[in-house]
């Protein structure tokens, strides 16, 4: 399985190449430089692997939520490669990528370090929040499934921190939304979260993991269906229809 993944939905920019379970990644924290950086990142990864786009099995990209401009960049880049190489595309949620990267990087010694701050059971649930500006957050709750993949519980939403919906499960808080709205979220979740990390950013390596998983499960789509997901637009549309 050979898959190329890109992620540009926040101030971080990254690309990753997945080859039979081995991931190579290029990552930079460079706000507003995504357009300049993403194609050279892709070219470098492909060159190092000795691959051409036509030799890939699929592509994956972070489809949102996130920065409107950032999500459009990832969408446009992937659509261009998919059209040129006639490849299927796996759209991956930005929130799912944050949760997946957290799950992937909290094992062994690091798992035990975090477990010292909270109940070990809570490490399998990620209360994921991204700062959506305008006083809101992008919100999604993810469970680590039996195979280690991030599985959505309920629905993703754009919401006030004081109105998030959640299961009655111990978990950890991750994502930039916790840096801005930690007090409100802690009060809303009423003791379900005792540990949080606010510096978690989505990365292409997690997009690659979830993209490969999605491809195996038949979630790849033709390029014309590889579209961004803007949660705020969906909410606005629903309100106008009432």
What is the domain partition of the chain in residue ranges? 2-94+202-241, 95-197
Choose between 67 and 107: higher pLDDT.
Answer: 67
8-45 pLDDT tens trace? 999 999 999 999 999 999 999 998 999 999 999 999 99
Predicted confidence at residue 237, as pLDDT, reads: 39
- The tokens 């490669």 sit on which residue? 81
pLDDT for res 239: 36
The pLDDT > 90 percentage for the chain reads: 86
Confidence of residue 117 (pLDDT cuts 50, 70, 90): low
Q: What's the pLDDT band for 235 if we cut at 50, 70, 90?
A: very low
Residue 65 preceded by cis peptide, ω within 30: yes
Classify domain 2-94+202-241 at the CATH class level: alpha beta
Q: Give the β-pairing of 12-19 and 2-7.
A: antiparallel
pLDDT of residue 238: 39
Domain pair 2-94+202-241 / 95-197, same fold: yes
Tell me what pLDDT residue 133 has. 93
Please state, rounded to an integer, the average pLDDT across all residues of the chain. Answer: 92
Name the pLDDT band for 105 (thresholds 50, 70, 90). Answer: confident
Please give the share of the chain, as a percent, with pLDDT higher than 70.
90
Q: How far is CA 241 from CA 125, 138, 215, 235, 238, in A?
A: 34, 22, 34, 10, 5
Query: Is it the case that residue 194 has pLDDT exceeding 90?
Result: no
Q: How far apart are CA 189 and CA 172, in angstroms?
A: 11
Place of tokens 């978690």: 200
95-197: CATH topology: Nucleotidyltransferase; domain 5 (3.30.420)
For the cut 70, the answer to whether the pLDDT of residue 236 exceeds it is: no
């Amino acid at each position: 399985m050979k898959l190329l993944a890109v992620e540009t939905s926040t101030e971080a920019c990254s690309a990753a190449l997945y080859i039979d379970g081995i991931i190579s990644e290029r990552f930079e924290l460079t706000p507003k430089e995504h357009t300049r950086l993403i194609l050279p990142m892709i070219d470098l990864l492909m060159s190092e692997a000795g691959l051409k786009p036509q030799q890939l099995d699929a592509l994956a990209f972070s489809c949102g939520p996130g920065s409107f401009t950032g999500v459009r960049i990832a969408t446009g880049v992937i659509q261009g490669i998919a059209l040129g190489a006639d490849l299927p595309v796996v759209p991956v949620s930005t929130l799912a990528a944050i949760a997946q990267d957290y799950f992937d990087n909290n094992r062994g010694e690091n798992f035990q370090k975090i477990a010292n701050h909270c109940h070990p059971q809570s490490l399998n649930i990620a209360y994921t929040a991204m700062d959506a500006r305008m006083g809101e957050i992008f919100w999604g709750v993810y469970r680590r499934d039996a195979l280690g993949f991030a599985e959505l519980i309920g629905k993703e939403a754009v919401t006030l921190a004081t109105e998030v919906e959640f299961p009655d499960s111990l978990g950890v808080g991750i994502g930039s939304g916790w840096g801005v709205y930690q007090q409100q979220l802690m009060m809303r979740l009423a003791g379900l979260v005792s540990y949080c990390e606010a510096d978690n950013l989505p990365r292409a390596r997690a997009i690659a993991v979830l993209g490969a998983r999605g491809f195996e499960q038949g979630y790849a789509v033709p390029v014309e269906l590889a579209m961004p997901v803007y949660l705020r637009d969906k909410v606005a549309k629903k309100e106008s229809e009432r």
